[in-house]
Chains A and B, each alone.
Chain A
Amino acid sequence: MKELKIGCGKPTGAKLGESAGSGKPAEETPMGKEISMAAVKVGAKAPDFEAPAYQSGKFGQVKLSDYLGKWVVLCFYPGDFTFV
């Protein structure tokens, strides 16, 4: 995890392995949600993003594309201090 200036969690608008700008961020397209959700499917490149993170006592910024070359498991969950 890189220690960088901490920003908001946001999609970069690019797919992994592609340069940013090859796709518009979801919120900038009129049908953004539908378009971007349709793009997330098995067999397709994952949408890149960066997000602030906490790990081992440090805050930093994580960018998904920094993990290219490794297997990644990305797990969303409802919230900290929830039960399951």
Chain B
Amino acid sequence: MVARLRELQALRVFVDVHVSLSLCLTKVSSDVEGPKVNSTSDTHRHEIARKFTAVIPHSLALGMSIEDLGDGEAVMKIPYDERFIGDPETGVLHGGVITALLDSCCGTAVISHPATKGPTATLDLRIDYMRAARPGEAVLAFAQCYRQTRSVAFVRAVAYETDRDDPIATATGAFTVAPASEPKS
């Protein structure tokens, strides 16, 4: 019970810090389709998204990095690593690594969306594998949070080596977002 309380407290601090950072750094209207925020706010929000990813142990362990960020968009990379091979005969990366990359990239796209005011978690993620990743090459993911409601962010993503039109895998997901106005009860 105490542990659970501590968990909740930690979450509250996490949410509060993030919300206050977002609020003071970005003067974004709650309207999702609202006017573009100024470039300073963009930079700060993206900084938050970068910091989020920089402290995620599993993303760090897999060697993930953020390559580019936009409003509700993210490009992330995972270097080729022999430890992550799925087929020892061909050296092709395991699908699970692509899953981890796509999940992270989708989450980062949600965080970098102007309407996002708190942390996010994956509700559901579907991944379609089109082909094997080319052995020896880094894999990139591009994710776009294309729609956000008060409680849900909808994201699509693609994994590729060099060409987004020649995908290794595509993903669609739904992510949780904290309600825009009233605090979480």
A and B part of one assembly: no
